[in-house]
Structure 1
Amino acid sequence: MELATAALGSLLPKLGSLLTDEYKLQKGLRGEIKFLQAEMESMQAALDEVSKRPAHQIRDLDKIWARDLKELCYDIEDSVDTFMVRIDDAPVGPKPRSFRRFFDRTIGLLTKAKTRHHVADDIEDIKSRIHEVAARRERYKFKDIAAQPDTTVIDPRVPALFEEAAKLVGTDGPAKKISNLLTQQKDVQKQKLMVVSIVGVGGLGKTTVANLVYERLGDQFDCQAFVSVSLKPNMKQILGSILRQVSEGTCTNAGEMDLDELIRSIRKFLMDKRYFIVIDDVWNEEAWKLIKCALIDNNLDSKVIVTTRNIAVANFCSIDGTMYELEPLSDADSKRLLCKRVFNEGEGIHSELEEVAKKILKKCGGVPLAIITIASMLASLPNKTMYEWYGVYNSMGSGLEKDKNLKSMRWILSLSYNDLPYHLKPCLLYLSMFPEDYEIPIYWLVQMWAAEGFIIEEKGRNLYKIGKRYFNELVNRSMIQLMRRRDNGSATACRVHDMILDLIISLSAQENFVTISEGPQVMSPECTIRRLSLQGRASHTASKEEQVILPAKVNMFHVRSLIAFDYAFQWMPPLSCFLVLRVLYLHCFPSKNNHPKDLGSLHHLRYLVLGGEIEAKVLEEIGNLQLLNTLELLATNIKELPASITRLRQLENLFIGRGVKLPDGIENLMSLQELGWLDVEESPNTLAELGNLTELRVLRIHGLDDNESYVKTFLQSLSNLHNLHTLVLSGRGIWSVDLDCMSDHWRGPAHLQNFDAGSFIIISQLPRWFSTLSEFSFLTITVKVLRQDDLQLLGALPVLRVLKLEVHPDGIITEERLVIGIDEPFRSLAEFNFINYSRCWLVFGQGVMPRLQRLQLRFEVQKREGGGFDIGLENLTSLKHIIVTVNCYGARIREVEDVETKIRDVIEIHPNHPTVELSRSMTYRMVQD
């Protein structure tokens, strides 16, 4: 249902835009468009009505109708897009002053007339399909629908509450940690109500761990209760259950009370009681808000545990407690659990089963429910041979929906999918385009969603930011795992848990959302292909005909996304077959069956990523792709972009490698929001043009460190980039760059948040204009000179969260000590990384860096007089983790060990007892004693 709703949500605004004066439709055609618009709005209303029904009351007939409606919306949108592109591609000049212009104008008018005639034919066909879809639904619609039987599903998680302790694996550690969180509080807060949230993906064992803590601590309280909320909670039943449990059955009329009476009764009963309650499986904040009304804070040290799949809900529920993120089982615990369920106690996995067992456990990903489910299948096998186990392993993929033994696992995972709002479901299903274990760059993914039209526009908001919010919501709901974190903690890639990937592949197949092909021979011509993922390797033994998906056999006309991984590009059909393609990612391009000019004919393309050995002529007609938003060529050998690229007025993101020459006229890309890398040596003229790209938000520049005039030209342009929030500089690390060479009246981009110069470019001194950047939050910089004034400047920045400050080995620090005092408190700093090779040392005064949790220091032993570590570490009151790297260059082993001992001593007496990582560098240059 939700996918049809999403398709309608994308289509209706386009139908509305067709009725504007811009497209000058004839009267009859306008009437047809209005008919389509009204018909689609009526279908949307009908769809909303059906979607409001309980899941067991939605008939198969309604599901078929919604599926047909979704396909119909896709086809209408394809026609509308084609019409818009053709109209826009035939511009009419103001006046024909020559035969050539007269000819072009005449052809343009004829083309537009032909296009309007074509869209009229399409509408006639669509109208007949609308009547057909509606009539089919009406034909099989019974007037009197019998009362729906009670189809209550028994929750397969219930047995987890009564599992024998001997059978549990990997739960003791989390249970102890959560027990400690509940019982070890600071004296000031000891009597207040405490709520600890346990969060994790479905099937991870949250209920089991919560129940274990409940059993261990329950006797210490006056009364206790354990209730499950579930996806669509009956709040009256839940509150009634709490009342019956805490009153130990004395309140017998709970079922007769309304919500207000139940809340008042619970509060009255708990008024003078120390209670312990577990609220299991909370899905949204609204359910918790109502339950929280009944949980009175009576200052008797009461405790509550909440379990949820949603990180945002977990944070919302926590009161004077914390959020505990439950981790998957370790490899060792996963193996132990499998053995316990399949073999007799103490019996291990037989040697011939080791390899297949490892594959099965990897697929389960440390999720206990998945391991237990699969173990029950393995235990039922008569002979437990390797071939039987491989049969089970193979059933864990597309067989997730077919194998009855996996039904409970699918049911639990489906709950998370069913809870998603309609706009997130296509975003999640799109992840089935990527192979198992593939690390998906987050930026790619969100831009693909935008290109596909999944992201709903909001007035005044950047589309990528809206999409990133969608992404974060899927992460919060434990549907996506974050990967490849930057030093500042932010992730750059993600992946999908194997069991969830199996689920969304299955759902995508059911909904005809994504078609996955692992070879040309498995492509089916039966259904309309909307999104195509080519995975696997082409066979070297296959014939030429078998190596290509033949257009005559499989219709590619409606494919919106095409992704080809590894060598799969070898058997993809020509690009000319893809008439409405919006997303194209090719790992290697071009292939033998793709002509370079085919690329220029993809007029609907919004997102393009190419890799491989590409000749310059391949990109010559790229200027034809007028709708292109994102172009990435980082994995190619391209050395120069064609002049036609300057015609891409809707291009927002351009990613190229260092050493690529840009043509003059880049200033015409007025929509450009992200550019990188701009190699100054290859494209010096572009520096002056930058100032006209006022929409730029992210800029990466290489090579400013060898020409003073480049720097001044760059800074002049930089002052015009009012929307810039991220600036990354890269150089050869030989010369230093003076970014303070402009007049006092010069101002940098006011909204700059992230400045990254790293170790590959040396800044002569900290720029004074940094002091005007009130939104500055991330700074990575290597300076040649560091002064006390610089620390005062940085310390005064109100929202600076991450600071990585390095003094170049050849740099200068004038003072013997740099003191961070109360005048420069660094009040928002959470992470500080300081690299210094001079004799000078930082000292932290009282009250500074009140939020600092992570400190990383790197210094040279030989430059530390006396080897002391008296730096005021005790004044960093929020410190949780410290990393110290000792540079051993020219030092004796005894000196290094002495410094390390002093460091440990200082950290040991810190009131927070932070964790410590102590390491050495340049050990091969140590002096032997």
Structure 2
Amino acid sequence: MAEAAILAALQVIGKTLTNEVAKLAISKFSKLCSTYKNLESNINNINSELRVMQGFLDGIEMDDQSNKPQVAWIKEVHELANHIEDIVSEFAYLINNQKFDGISIYVTKLFKDPKLLVDLKRVASQLLEAETRLVNLARMKERWVPTTNVSTGENSNYSNEYSYKMAISAHFIDENQIVGIKNNSWKLTSWLNSKNLELSVISVWGMGGVGKTTLVTNVFKREKNNFDCHAWINISQSFTVDNLLQNMISEICKEGQNNSINTGNKDLRELKEIVVKLLKGRKYLIVLDDMWDLNDFRDIRDTLVNDHRGSRIMITSRIASVASLAPESNRLELKPLPELDSWDLFCKKAFPIERNHECPPPLKKWAKEIVSKCDGLPLALVSLGGVLSCSEKTESEWRRVHDQLTWELDNNPNLDPLKNILNLSFKRLPKYLKNCFLHCSLFPEDFPLPRKKLLRLWIAEGFIQQKGRSTLEEVAEGYLMELIHRSMLQVVETNYSGRVKRCQMHDTLRELAISLCKRENFGLILEDNKSENVDSSTRRLSIINLRETVNHDVCLPKLRTFMLVDNDVSSSPLLSMVFDKSRYLTVLDLEGLPIDTVPNALGDLFNLHYLGLRKTKVKCLPKSIKKLRNLQTLDLALSKIQNLPDDISELKKLRHLFNEVEVDPTYRSFTRTAISLPKGMFYLKDLQTIQGLRSNAMVVRELGNLTQLRTFRIRNVKENHSVELCKSLSKMSFLSNLDISASDENEIVQFEGLEGLNLPQLQKLALYGKLKETMLEWPLFKISGNSIQTLQLGWSELQNDPLPSLSHCRNLTYLFLKRVYEGQQLIFKAGWFPKLKRLFLGLMPNLIQVEMEQGTMASLEVIGLSELKQLMEVPKGIEHLVSLKWMYCLDMPVDFGGLAEGTHQLFHFTCRVS
């Protein structure tokens, strides 16, 4: 992780060296203070030393804990890189903490401040000291760190030793000890023995320890004799293509044919020729176990002969892209075991000599807790079961193992197989993903991580690097998907467009991550009933479900991130201490904390990028907030803040503003409150998100300056705002989420100015308020119809059926219609809304019939019906909706539930009558 700390320091230095104010200030300061006349070259030297160190760290096995001098040296590098990042951040703050009026004039004024000169001298001295320490560290490496530890890359023996051992062990597992593979085993067997004679690839993928190798081994042992020849190759042990081919030849020759082939002196071409000759004219089965890279397969693809004899290649991997080498019909994603299978497997290992492997009643409570911690991961169940089989069968001992699981993973040698298999997944991550992964462990166990918030936090932390023309948010989402595809995070919820909405860490992986966080000083998690020591070196602190007062005597000068999750520590002095002492703070997330004020010391947190006050009782922001020149995200949603100070327009780097006062998830009420923004906010060119803006004449006129907006929610729109609002919206070519509400349900929102509007990236559209009948004929729906995925219309009160016009939106996955139509009948015709997954119809007082033709809404999964007082029959043709899983009804006529009685056998049905 030292390389990640160096990367962060290099990013801060790079920004400083390219900043015009910084360059001029450095030059002028060097002339004023002769002691620091070489300050610019000192910074450049630090930059160069760090880059060389980063290159060195990239080429060594970072997690080889057996090399003690290397471990100690890397720790020193890590700490110094963090220190340099702090120093340069403060330097950048000192020279940019005033209003800007021209570089030269600004810098001249800057150095007339005697206090500033004192601070700059202190920072310059720290930089000189840091340069000296870097030079000494370089010399120390030459004296104490052996250069023989430079590895050949990621595929070193050390990294893969345990993976290889586990693969070998899988071949000798007693079949009676295997649990929960029957269905998957049958599926793989059927793929192997299909009548298709083409050479085909089969892949099995999932997180480390989920049982991929065990499953494939079980099938391989049973089916291999149905093939003319076979080979099992562990890719992790095949460091090069040559080694991989040599292993393949050796495996095939084990059967007694050509067993005298000498491959030691053959080049790549000759090796490939031998493989082709061995496979020619034969039906073969080859298993490529534990594959990490697509290139491993591409390098040998030309040797895999296709003689139309039904040959098969089976691949196991932790990575989705590798699994995609097989056609979708031949891909098997292994999931953790269900609860009953988990219990069965654990008991077989923990109680091997008990009758029927039964758990003694006194241990059952803690055994269940430990099994729950394993979260269905077979390797964790087997490893912990094995450890506990040799421990005392007492309640206190089993409770100790449960409470100290993180410590056990770190220190119990009997758990090394589990630790190393999981650790390998982390080691194989690209360095730009490692911090992102560890950051996820700062949240509670089983916490559903919201995608959007997670991405904003990663950006605030500095984990995300700019890539071409993509926004940081787009790059961050790519990182998230890569972690998911590498089986490091699990998807727990998607939206109706199939996009990840929430994900989470597997419990056992989280225990590993927490251990790494402590070892690498990445961060510390304080959880209720768990004792941890907070010290002055802590850089990230997450307080979870803590009810007791935290020790506030410790000073946290290096703290970068402070997060509170589900806590009530508002009376603790800890919060005040953070504001007063943690000057380098980057992330401050106090969501849900019952505080009503924020101290004025907030403005001293010059490096703050993320401020979260969501769901707090805070009523106003301190005036000092204008000093937070680096702030990127300001989350005030569902707080008590009614107005924003004018000086908030000084936050030039602000990207996301959440200021909705309240949200009604049931949409029962039309009222949508919001707050106004000061005029200067409309010149913040980096703003991408505004949620909860109150409309007025000035707002709709100035709004067009915010051309980078992606998500925009505006409330209280009046009829006389429409023209200016449409003009402003026409300038937002990146807009993907638009939500507009009229001032009240009787206000007519005129959108004639939108008629020619082309919003090519618009995916979500919500319009609340009376609409003209011609509105649904706009090109907006026909031009953007192919991009719109979510559409919400409320209180439109249209006289004409809106469905024919809306049917142009063929990519809709969610359609919400409330008080939209005053007519009596809605007909969903064949071919309409082919991708729609969720439909809601509500509060249409005259609607007496809903009809669904065969072939309509072919993908529909959920229907919601609410407050349709005249609807006395179940939608006609509902039986045609073959994908329907659930219909729910709220405040429907008394007899409606009975009328639906005969139809809901096809899907889940719930009904609440009024």
Give the TM-score of the pair, scaled to structure 2: 0.84
Q: Does 2:175 match 1:160?
A: no
Q: Does 2:479 match 1:473?
A: no
Q: State the secondary structure of the residue aligned to 2:204.
A: strand
Q: Which residue of 1 aligns with 2:327?
A: 319
Q: Which residue of 2 aligns with 1:876?
A: none
Structure 2 residue aligned with 1:693, among 700, 706, 717?
A: 706
Written as runs of structure 1 = structure 2, the 5 A alignment for 1:332-481 is 332-343=340-351, 344-382=354-392, 384-481=393-490
Q: 2:212 & 2:791 partners in 1: Cα distance?
A: 39
User: Given the superposition, is the C-alpha separation of residues 642 and 163 from structure 1 closer, same or farther in structure 2, using an over 3 Å criterion?
Assistant: same
Deviation at 1:389, TM superposition (A): 0.9
Q: Which residue of 2 aligns with 1:622?
A: 625
Task: Give the conservation status (yes or no) of the 8 Å contact 2:748–2:771.
Answer: yes
Q: Does 2:315 match 1:306?
A: yes
Task: Give the conservation status (yes or no) of the 8 Å contact 1:14–1:80.
Answer: no
User: Given the superposition, is the C-alpha separation of residues 577 and 50 from structure 1 closer, same or farther in structure 2, using an over 3 Å criterion?
Assistant: closer
Task: Give the conservation status (yes or no) of the 8 Å contact 1:8–1:70.
Answer: no
Written as runs of structure 1 = structure 2, the 5 A alignment for 1:507-546 is 507-517=516-526, 528-539=537-548
Written as runs of structure 1 = structure 2, the 5 A alignment for 1:739-888 is 740-742=751-753, 744=755, 746-756=756-766, 766=776, 768=778, 769-773=780-784, 776-782=787-793, 785=798, 791=804, 794-795=807-808, 800=811, 802-804=813-815, 806=817, 808=819, 810-812=821-823, 819-820=829-830, 829=835, 831=837, 833=839, 835=841, 838-839=848-849, 841-843=851-853, 853-856=859-862, 869=877
Deviation at 1:226, TM superposition (A): 2.3
Q: 2:878 & 2:150 partners in 1: Cα distance?
A: 81
Give the letter for the 2:139 counterpart. Answer: A
Give the letter for the 2:640 counterpart. Answer: N
Q: Which residue of 2 aligns with 1:652?
A: 655
Task: Give the conservation status (yes or no) of the 8 Å contact 1:227–1:278.
Answer: yes
Written as runs of structure 1 = structure 2, the 5 A alignment for 1:127-166 is 127-140=131-144, 155-166=165-176
Can you list the C-alpha shifts for 1:263-321, whole angstroms capped at 9, x where unaligned? Answer: 33333443433333322111111112223333233333333321111122212x11363
Q: 2:614 & 2:315 partners in 1: Cα distance?
A: 47
Q: Which residue of 2 aligns with 1:676?
A: 691
Task: Give the conservation status (yes or no) of the 8 Å contact 1:160–1:207.
Answer: yes
Q: 1:506 & 1:303 partners in 2: Cα distance?
A: 41
Aligned-pair identity in percent equals: 24
User: Given the superposition, is the C-alpha separation of residues 347 and 839 from structure 1 closer, same or farther in structure 2, using an over 3 Å criterion?
Assistant: same
Q: Which residue of 1 aligns with 2:665?
A: none
Task: Give the conservation status (yes or no) of the 8 Å contact 2:536–2:556.
Answer: no
Aligned residues: 868
Give the letter for the 1:10 counterpart. Answer: Q
User: Given the superposition, is the C-alpha separation of residues 449 and 231 from structure 1 closer, same or farther in structure 2, using an over 3 Å criterion?
Assistant: farther
User: Given the superposition, is the C-alpha separation of residues 861 and 82 from structure 1 closer, same or farther in structure 2, using an over 3 Å criterion?
Assistant: closer
Task: Give the conservation status (yes or no) of the 8 Å contact 2:747–2:769.
Answer: no
Q: Does 2:518 match 1:505?
A: no
Give the letter for the 2:69 counterpart. Answer: L
Q: State the secondary structure of the residue aligned to 1:662.
A: coil
Task: Structure 2: give runs of 5+ residues left out of the alignment.
Answer: 662-672
Q: Which residue of 2 aligns with 1:496?
A: 505
Deviation at 1:628, TM superposition (A): 0.5
Task: Give the conservation status (yes or no) of the 8 Å contact 2:5–2:82.
Answer: no
Deviation at 1:613, TM superposition (A): 5.0
Task: Give the conservation status (yes or no) of the 8 Å contact 2:689–2:710.
Answer: yes
Q: State the secondary structure of the residue aligned to 1:483.
A: strand
Q: 1:864 & 1:262 partners in 2: Cα distance?
A: 76
Deviation at 1:784, TM superposition (A): 5.0
Q: State the secondary structure of the residue aligned to 1:628.
A: coil
Q: 1:446 & 1:245 partners in 2: Cα distance?
A: 46
Q: 1:737 & 1:803 partners in 2: Cα distance?
A: 25
Q: Which residue of 1 aligns with 2:611?
A: 608
Task: Give the conservation status (yes or no) of the 8 Å contact 1:786–1:807.
Answer: no
Task: Give the conservation status (yes or no) of the 8 Å contact 1:339–1:348.
Answer: yes
Task: Give the conservation status (yes or no) of the 8 Å contact 2:9–2:84.
Answer: no
Deviation at 1:362, TM superposition (A): 1.3
Task: Structure 1: give runs of 5+ residues left out of the alignment.
Answer: 541-546, 874-878, 902-915
Structure 2 residue aligned with 1:202, among 191, 194, 208?
A: 208
Q: Which residue of 2 aligns with 1:598?
A: 601
Task: Give the conservation status (yes or no) of the 8 Å contact 1:226–1:277.
Answer: yes
Deviation at 1:655, TM superposition (A): 0.9
Bigger shift: residues 364-373 or 216-225? 216-225
Give the letter for the 2:437 counterpart. Answer: L
User: Given the superposition, is the C-alpha separation of residues 367 and 899 from structure 1 closer, same or farther in structure 2, using an over 3 Å criterion?
Assistant: closer
Structure 2 residue aligned with 1:61, among 49, 58, 69?
A: 69
Q: 1:522 & 1:341 partners in 2: Cα distance?
A: 30
User: Given the superposition, is the C-alpha separation of residues 296 and 761 from structure 1 closer, same or farther in structure 2, using an over 3 Å criterion?
Assistant: farther
Task: Give the conservation status (yes or no) of the 8 Å contact 1:585–1:608.
Answer: yes
Q: Which residue of 2 aligns with 1:561?
A: 561
Bigger shift: residues 523-532 or 451-460? 523-532
Q: State the secondary structure of the residue aligned to 1:752.
A: coil
Give the letter for the 1:634 counterpart. Answer: A
Structure 1 residue aligned with 2:726, among 710, 715, 735?
A: 715
Bigger shift: residues 103-112 or 763-772? 103-112
Q: State the secondary structure of the residue aligned to 1:621.
A: helix
Give the letter for the 1:120 counterpart. Answer: A
Q: Which residue of 1 aligns with 2:305?
A: 296
Q: State the secondary structure of the residue aligned to 1:458.
A: coil
Q: Which residue of 2 aligns with 1:905?
A: none
Give the TM-score of the pair, scaled to structure 1: 0.83
Q: 1:102 & 1:5 partners in 2: Cα distance?
A: 31
Q: State the secondary structure of the residue aligned to 2:753.
A: coil
Q: Does 2:640 match 1:637?
A: yes
Deviation at 1:365, TM superposition (A): 0.7
Q: Which residue of 1 aligns with 2:664?
A: none
Q: Does 2:911 match 1:921?
A: yes
Bigger shift: residues 22-31 or 622-631? 22-31
Q: 1:332 & 1:672 partners in 2: Cα distance?
A: 50
Q: Which residue of 1 aligns with 2:676?
A: 662
Q: State the secondary structure of the residue aligned to 1:696.
A: coil
Q: 1:103 & 1:378 partners in 2: Cα distance?
A: 67
Deviation at 1:255, TM superposition (A): 2.9
User: Given the superposition, is the C-alpha separation of residues 254 and 287 from structure 1 closer, same or farther in structure 2, using an over 3 Å criterion?
Assistant: farther
User: Given the superposition, is the C-alpha separation of residues 891 and 365 from structure 1 closer, same or farther in structure 2, using an over 3 Å criterion?
Assistant: same
Can you list the C-alpha shifts for 1:496-532, whole angstroms capped at 9, x where unaligned? Answer: 2221111111112111221334599977576522222
Q: 1:521 & 1:356 partners in 2: Cα distance?
A: 17
Deviation at 1:435, TM superposition (A): 3.0
Deviation at 1:18, TM superposition (A): 5.5
Task: Give the conservation status (yes or no) of the 8 Å contact 1:735–1:762.
Answer: no
Task: Give the conservation status (yes or no) of the 8 Å contact 2:10–2:47.
Answer: no
Structure 1 residue aligned with 2:27, among 20, 25, 30?
A: 25
Give RMSD over aligned pairs: 4.0
Q: 2:202 & 2:710 partners in 1: Cα distance?
A: 39
Q: State the secondary structure of the residue aligned to 2:165.
A: coil
